[in-house]
């Protein structure tokens, strides 16, 4: 091959997928690895969702669907957005894509012109900056510290915005920090972004994983002006334990959706047909299964937070959403990659280095694992930290 695309050559492969693969490899060799690296729920997909997909297959639903997805799926998503989020989207304002990751990649490509800047609060989900670059844009970071509970402020946005800034990404609850904004904080961020003429990209994939009685709000629901300038992204992976099904969706004003559909028509055609029929069942009837999974996550969250926050030298904001905890380990004197590598090699505990999320002072642990893993893994984590002081 004579040449490769320079945009693509500059991409960093997903670090979370790499460390998760190494942990699995060590476990396969017989090492007793406590794996906190996974970025997906550990539950099986609920049976009624599988049954709906199997029925669709049996009924011969094996052909292409419309580009934006099965009309029935767009309908139940629109009804869900009204019911759960107070959002008025017509089915024609929804595009179903091959996972929310695919949705977001298409959103950035649909939105950005070369050199356009996108503000991304750090710590961030590690695909945002790469997606922006692939789309020809420039990621601009605002760093939120553990001392600030990993939250940015309206003043931060004002400072980061330039004449070239076109969008702000908000992910609440957040992967990797587990932090979520209050509705009032979210609204203040949104209104500041609006005043600066920015489009908001609201990644709400963890909306169902919310604890301590916190209230989840959707950016587009605050006002007609925010509705008109927000692109809402969500998906089935996290809420319904459907990561392998690859179903995500975008809701936005019609002109944006029309352009995004044109792009999807030439890149994916549409998501998998029988997976979409499973998605119809999930969105329509999945609420009870969500409640059970969230209760299990909550018990794990409390335990892992109690154990982590008691470790000398570790600073750990209390996570209130998603299924991650993001301790600041910088007082222990190692960068996050060295910390994670030694923790895995010497103590058989897999975590993801925070540098992958724009925070070299931290590591990410997913508590999508059993309580036993949390007990054993955190005892080892503590022993490793003690050995460093
Ligand atoms: C997991 C995740 C996604 C994408 O998930 P899909 O499986 O592609 O639907 C998007 N955003 C965040 C913050 C995530 O953690």
pLDDT, one tens digit per residue, over 281-314 is 999 998 888 999 999 999 999 999 999 999 999 9
DSSP character at residue 363: E
Other beta carbons within 10 Å of 54? 14
What is the position in ligand 1's atom list of the atom closest to the CA of 39?
1
Ligand 1 center to 100 CA (angstroms):
5
Fold of 63-286: 3.40.640
Beta strands (DSSP E) in the chain are: 34-35, 94-97, 117-122, 138-143, 165-171, 199-203, 230-235, 248-251, 324-325, 349-350, 352-353, 363-366
Strand order in the sheet with 248-251: 94-97, 248-251, 230-235, 199-203, 165-171, 117-122, 138-143
Ligand 1 center to 154 CA (angstroms):
25
Q: How far is C-alpha 205 from the geometric centre of its chain's CA atoms? A: 6
Q: What is the mean pLDDT of the chain?
A: 95
Positive or negative CA dihedral for 209, 213, 219, 220?
A: positive
The pLDDT-based confidence of 269 (bands split at 50, 70, 90) is: very high
What is the C-alpha to C-alpha distance for residues 316 and 308, in angstroms, rounded to an integer?
A: 7
Tokens at 360, concatenated: 């070299």
What is the C-alpha to C-alpha distance for residues 261 and 59, in angstroms, rounded to an integer?
A: 27
Torsion angle defined by CA atoms of residues 192, 169, 158 and 154, in that order, rounded to the nearest 10 degrees: 50
Sequence ranges of the chain with CATH classification 3.90.1150.10: 6-45+288-387
226-267 tens-digit pLDDT: 999 999 999 999 999 999 999 999 999 999 999 999 999 999
**Alpha-carbon Rg for the chain in angstroms:** 21
Query: 14-23, 56-65, 158-167, 339-348: which range is least confident on average?
Result: 14-23
Give every CB contact of residue 304 below 8 A, 6+ residues apart in sequence. Answer: 325, 365, 367, 374, 378
Ligand 1 center to 290 CA (angstroms):
17
pLDDT at 14 over 80: no
Burial 112-122 (b: 16+ CB within 10 A, else e): beeebbbbbbb
Q: Say how many CA atoms lie within 13 Å of 227 toward its Cβ.
A: 13
- Establish whether residue 234 lines the binding site of ligand 1, counting it when its CB lies within 6 angstroms of any ligand atom: no
CATH architecture of 6-45+288-387: Alpha-Beta Complex (3.90)
What is the C-alpha to C-alpha distance for residues 7 and 15, in angstroms, rounded to an integer?
A: 18
- The DSSP element (H or E) to which 157 belongs, if any, is helix 154-160
- Establish whether residue 364 lines the binding site of ligand 1, counting it when its CB lies within 6 angstroms of any ligand atom: no
pLDDT at 71: 98
β-bridge pairing 138-143 and 117-122? parallel
Contact 94, 78 (CB under 8 A): yes
**Mean pLDDT, residues 218-223 taken together:** 98
- Establish whether residue 275 lines the binding site of ligand 1, counting it when its CB lies within 6 angstroms of any ligand atom: no
Ligand 1 center to 123 CA (angstroms):
15
Contact 89, 213 (CB under 8 A): no
Pocket test residue of 235, 236, 243, 321 for ligand 1, highest count of atoms within 8 A of CB:
235
pLDDT at 127 over 70: yes
What is the position in ligand 1's atom list of the atom closest to the CA of 125?
13
Contact 351, 16 (CB under 8 A): no
Contact 249, 94 (CB under 8 A): yes
Burial 299-328 (b: 16+ CB within 10 A, else e): ebbeebbebbeebeebbbbbbbbbbbbbbb
The pLDDT-based confidence of 15 (bands split at 50, 70, 90) is: low
What is the C-alpha to C-alpha distance for residues 134 and 262, in angstroms, rounded to an integer?
A: 18
> Which alpha helices (DSSP H) does 245-370 contain, by range?
254-267, 273-285, 287-309, 336-347
Nearest to 125 by CA among 103, 147, 101: 101
What is the position in ligand 1's atom list of the atom closest to the CA of 322?
15
Phi, psi of 222 (to 5 degrees): -70, -35
pLDDT at 68: 97
Ligand 1 center to 166 CA (angstroms):
22
Rounded to two decimals, what is the model's pTM?
A: 0.96
- Establish whether residue 248 lines the binding site of ligand 1, counting it when its CB lies within 6 angstroms of any ligand atom: yes
Torsion angle defined by CA atoms of residues 41, 210, 320 and 376, in that order, rounded to the nearest 10 degrees: -30
Nearest to 234 by CA among 116, 89, 352: 89
pLDDT at 236: 96
pLDDT at 17 over 80: no
- The crossing angle, in degrees rounded to 10, of helices 15-28 and 336-347 is 10
Tokens at 361, concatenated: 């002072």
What is the C-alpha to C-alpha distance for residues 129 and 156, in angstroms, rounded to an integer?
A: 18
**Mean pLDDT, residues 211-218 taken together:** 92
Ligand 1 center to 341 CA (angstroms):
25
């Amino acid at each position: 091959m004579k040449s490769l695309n320079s945009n693509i050559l500059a991409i960093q492969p997903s670090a979370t997928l790499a460390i998760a693969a190494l942990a699995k490899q060590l476990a396969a060799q017989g090492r007793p690895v406590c794996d906190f690296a996974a970025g997906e729920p550990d539950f099986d997909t609920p049976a009624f969702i599988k049954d709906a997909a199997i029925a669709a297959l049996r009924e011969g639903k094996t052909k292409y669907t419309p580009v934006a997805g099965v009309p029935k799926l767009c309908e139940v998503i629109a009804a869900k957005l009204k019911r759960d989020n107070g959002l008025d989207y017509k089915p024609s304002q929804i595009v179903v894509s091959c996972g929310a990751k695919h949705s977001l990649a298409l959103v950035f490509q649909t939105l950005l012109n070369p050199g356009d800047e996108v503000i991304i609060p750090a710590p961030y989900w590690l695909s945002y900056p790469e997606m922006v670059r692939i789309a020809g844009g420039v990621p601009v970071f605002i760093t939120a510290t553990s001392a600030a509970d990993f939250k940015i402020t309206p003043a931060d946005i004002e400072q980061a915005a330039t004449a070239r800034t076109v969008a702000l990404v908000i992910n609440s609850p957040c992967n990797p920090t587990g932090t979520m904004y209050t509705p009032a904080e979210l609204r203040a961020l949104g209104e500041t972004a609006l005043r600066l003429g920015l489009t908001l990209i609201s990644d709400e994939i963890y909306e169902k994983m919310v604890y301590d009685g916190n209230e989840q709000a959707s950016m587009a629901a605050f006002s007609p002006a925010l509705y008109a300038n927000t692109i809402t992204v969500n998906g089935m992976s996290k809420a319904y334990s459907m990561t392998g099904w690859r179903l995500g969706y975008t809701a936005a004003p019609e002109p944006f959706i029309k352009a995004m559909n044109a792009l999807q028509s030439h890149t994916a055609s549409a998501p998998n047909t029988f997976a979409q029929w499973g998605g119809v069942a999930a969105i329509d009837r999945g609420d009870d299964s969500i409640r059970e999974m969230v209760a299990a996550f909550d018990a794990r969250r409390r335990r892992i937070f109690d154990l982590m926050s008691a470790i000398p030298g570790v600073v750990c904001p209390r996570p209130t959403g998603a299924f991650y905890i993001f301790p600041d380990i910088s007082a222990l004197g190692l960068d996050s990659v060295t910390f994670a590598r030694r923790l895995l090699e010497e103590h058989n505990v897999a975590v993801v280095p925070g540098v992958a999320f724009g925070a070299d002072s931290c590591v990410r642990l997913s508590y999508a694992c059993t309580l036993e893993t949390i007990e054993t893994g955190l005892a080892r984590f503590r022993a490793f930290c003690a050995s460093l002081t």
